[in-house]
Structure formats: structure tokens, C-alpha cells
């Protein structure tokens, strides 16, 4: 059995899902908004996908500007079913998150944050929860040495772990841990799993590092093909144990691993259900979609108009059927991978998950 051998039942489900996705494209219902709340960051991660700077002179978007755009979001989306997630940079560096969060809460939007955990303490989580915080994602990239190496700070691991422990004690806030798997932490995934279980984590997401942002200059951060394939065997195994809810991130069609390593089939919802507002006001789909993927700017355009009239490259992805995608038998299920894995200038595919797994299979079968 190889990754490209998909049983009939799963193939049938994948075909049904293809129709489901096409219907979702026609509906074009916004239900997830990411806000790049700041570009400031208190870490300097090797794999950062943003153009983050430690420089505090980089101005943050005034809260009122963001909230004005959110009022326009409310004209195209039901606030109660639209999640707003603050990302960055490190969003906790903003002192007005509670005010912004409370305003969102009063407008009916659920909201959450993605954080490195460095500034999350009892007092802050309490004030955020009072402002209606509903979900937190904390990054924990391996055991101490590998996490600190990736994050560029000796205290980053203990702070992140403290944040995770703290979140385990807060009943009203849902949280998960996200791990970017790379060559350094690949060998310690079992130990990391034990640590998470011991601390009391219920949900864990695994991403692999893709070649954008700073990671583009650090190719050694990417798993070897055989490791890449073995990662999906690990995720599949852990999911079957049902001790923790583990999911692979929202990227890449994974052939026969679909339905095994994450709850949903691969579906890049960027520009279909997801929009983002970047630190400079740019309106995009996911925050790491920049360059030619930018659809407008809140300082020049009305968000409602942008959402309703633009995002054409996201809604009709036939343009992605070039290069290795052109002759791919699985294109219909994948439609050119996640948009963030396309070159922001010329649209070329930067990484194919399926091809990487196939490569890994070939290497591993040669070793047997």
C-alpha cells in the first residue's frame, strides 16, 4: 500500500468532498478573520513566516482602525459564527488587546490569540478571559534545547510550558499546542507527546515548516523526505491511541493519509472562508499570503466590497494547474496545495506534500 493507493470508500468520500468544496466556493461565506495585531516580537524564530521585527518603532495598527474594518466584516459575515484570531508578531505585546477583544465580544465576535507564551501569566490570562477570550494557540516546538534553538531564546521553552500549564487550569478558554516539526525535534516527538499528556494538553497540532519567510533561508529546517513520510505514520498512530486530539495542519493533499492524520480532508479555505487584516492594513487571505495575493487595504477600500468582489484567484484556482500540478492525477482533490505554498510573485508551487511523501516512500523501501 502506497500513499497514492486510495481505497474505493475513501476515494468516494474525497469525490463527495470535492463537490462540497466547490459549493463552499460558490457560497464564499466568511467565517474566520486573522488580524496581524503587531509585527513586534519578543523572539527571533528561525522559521518565522512574518516579517517580524524586535524593533518597537514599528507602529501597530490603531485599535479603532481595526474595529472600523470589523464593522465592515459584520456586513458580510454573521459575527456569532466568525472567529477573529489575533496573530503577529507576538500579539501579547499589545497592551490594548483586552479593549479590542472586549469590543469584539460586544459586537458578538468570538476571538482568540496565537502566542509564543512568553508574556502569558495568570494576571494576563485573567484579564483576557474577562474580555471574552475564547481560544489560545501556544507554540511549543519540541523539548527544551530544540525549542530554544528554533525560537532563539534560552527562556522560551520554560515560558511556553508555563503558559501551557496555566491554560490547563483555565476552564473557559479552549487551547491547543502547535508544534513546527523540523529535523531537530523530529526524533523527540514521542517524548514531547508524553510531556504534553503529563501536563494535561488535550489538543495538539503539528505543522511542518514550509519555505517562506525566514525559513526560506534555512532549508535545513525541513524534514528529509523519509522523515516527512514517517511523520504522518506517527500522527496516524497517535490519533488511533486517542490519548490526545492530534491533527496535522491545514496544508497539503496527503493521498491515502487523508482522513487519517487530521479531522478534515485537505481544504485550503484561504479567500473562501478566511480573510486577514495585516499590520499595514492590507487585506489578504491568510497572514502569510502577501505580495500579489493582497486584495486591498482597509485604509483605501471597504472590506465588504473587497470580500464580495475580489479574491478571484482564491475562488477559481484553475490557474494553479501548471508545473508539476498540470499532470497530477490528484489535482482535483488538491487544487494546487495551500495558497501560502505558492510563490507570491509568480504563483509557482513551492512545495508538494504528496510528492515529498512519495519520495520518502521510495527511499524507505530502498532501505528495506
Shortest Å distance, C-beta 173 to another protein: 10
Shortest Å distance, C-beta 27 to another protein: 5
| 3-state DSSP assignment of residue 168 | helix
The answer to the question of residue 137 lying near another protein (CB under 8 A) is yes
* CA gap 155, 157 in Å, rounded: 6
The answer to the question of residue 239 lying near another protein (CB under 8 A) is no
* CA gap 58, 47 in Å, rounded: 20
Q: What percent of the chain is helix, strand and coil (3-state, nearest 5)?
A: 45, 15, 40
What is the DSSP code (8-state) at residue 250?
A: S
Q: Which residues contact 335 (CB under 8 A, 6 or more apart)?
A: 268, 317, 320
Shortest Å distance, C-beta 96 to another protein: 20
The answer to the question of residue 288 lying near another protein (CB under 8 A) is no
| DSSP E strand boundaries for 182-304 | 203-208, 245-248, 274-277, 282-284, 296-297
Q: 191-229 as b/e, with b when 16 or more CB fall inside 10 Å? A: ebbebbeeeebeebbbbbbbbbbbbeeeeebbbebbbbb
- Comparing CB distances to another protein, the nearer of 248 and 351 is 248
Out of 2, 4, 16, 365, the residue judged to bind another protein by CB under 8 A:
16
Q: Which residue has the cell 507602529?
A: 59
In the shown chain, the binding pattern of residues 299 to 338 toward another protein, with x for contact by CB under 8 A and - for none, equals ----------------------------------------
Out of 59, 62, 108, 332, the residue judged to bind another protein by CB under 8 A:
108
Shortest Å distance, C-beta 172 to another protein: 7
The answer to the question of residue 203 lying near another protein (CB under 8 A) is yes
Binding residues for another protein (CB under 8 A): 9-10, 12-13, 16-17, 19-20, 23-24, 26-28, 31-32, 79-81, 83, 85, 105-106, 108-110, 112, 132, 134-135, 137, 171-172, 174, 176, 203, 205, 245, 247, 250, 259, 262-265, 269, 273
Amino acid at each position: 500500500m502506497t500513499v497514492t493507493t486510495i481505497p474505493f470508500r475513501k476515494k468516494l468520500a474525497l469525490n463527495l468532498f470535492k463537490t462540497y468544496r466547490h459549493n463552499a466556493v460558490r457560497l464564499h461565506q466568511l467565517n474566520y478573520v486573522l488580524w496581524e495585531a503587531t509585527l513586534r516580537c519578543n523572539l527571533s524564530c528561525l522559521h518565522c513566516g512574518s516579517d517580524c521585527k524586535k524593533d518597537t518603532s514599528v507602529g501597530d495598527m490603531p485599535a479603532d482602525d481595526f474595529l472600523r474594518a470589523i464593522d465592515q466584516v459584520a456586513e458580510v459575515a454573521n459575527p456569532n459564527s466568525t472567529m477573529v484570531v489575533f496573530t503577529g508578531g507576538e500579539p501579547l505585546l499589545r497592551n490594548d488587546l483586552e479593549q479590542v477583544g472586549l469590543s469584539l465580544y460586544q459586537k458578538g465576535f468570538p476571538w482568540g490569540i496565537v502566542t509564543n507564551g512568553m508574556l502569558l501569566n495568570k494576571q494576563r490570562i485573567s484579564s483576557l478571559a474577562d474580555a471574552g477570550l475564547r481560544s489560545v494557540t501556544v507554540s511549543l516546538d519540541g523539548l527544551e534545547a530544540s525549542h530554544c534553538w528554533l525560537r532563539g531564546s534560552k527562556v522560551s521553552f520554560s515560558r511556553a510550558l508555563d503558559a501551557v500549564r496555566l491554560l490547563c487550569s483555565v476552564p473557559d478558554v479552549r487551547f491547543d499546542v502547535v508544534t513546527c516539526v523540523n529535523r531537530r525535534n523530529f526524533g523527540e516527538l514521542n517524548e514531547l507527546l508524553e510531556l504534553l499528556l503529563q501536563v494535561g494538553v488535550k489538543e495538539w497540532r503539528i505543522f511542518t515548516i514550509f519555505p517562506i519567510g525566514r525559513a526560506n533561508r534555512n532549508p535545513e529546517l525541513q524534514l528529509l523526505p523519509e522523515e516527512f513520510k514517517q511523520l504522518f505514520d506517527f500522527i496516524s498512530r497517535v490519533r488511533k491511541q486517542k490519548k490526545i486530539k492530534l491533527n496535522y495542519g491545514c496544508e497539503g493533499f496527503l493521498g491515502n493519509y487523508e482522513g487519517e492524520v487530521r479531522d478534515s480532508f485537505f481544504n485550503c479555505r484561504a479567500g473562501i472562508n478566511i480573510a486577514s487584516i495585516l499590520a499595514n492594513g492590507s487585506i489578504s487571505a491568510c497572514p502569510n499570503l502577501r505580495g500579489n495575493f493582497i486584495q486591498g487595504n482597509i485604509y483605501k477600500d471597504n472590506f465588504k466590497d473587497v470580500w464580495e468582489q475580489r479574491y478571484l484567484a482564491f475562488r477559481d484556482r484553475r490557474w494553479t494547474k501548471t508545473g508539476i500540478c498540470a499532470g497530477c492525477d490528484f489535482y482535483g482533490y488538491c487544487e494546487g496545495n495551500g495558497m501560502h505554498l505558492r510563490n507570491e510573485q509568480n504563483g509557482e508551487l513551492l512545495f508538494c506534500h504528496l510528492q515529498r511523501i512519495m519520495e520518502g516512500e521510495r527511499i524507505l523501501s530502498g532501505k528495506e
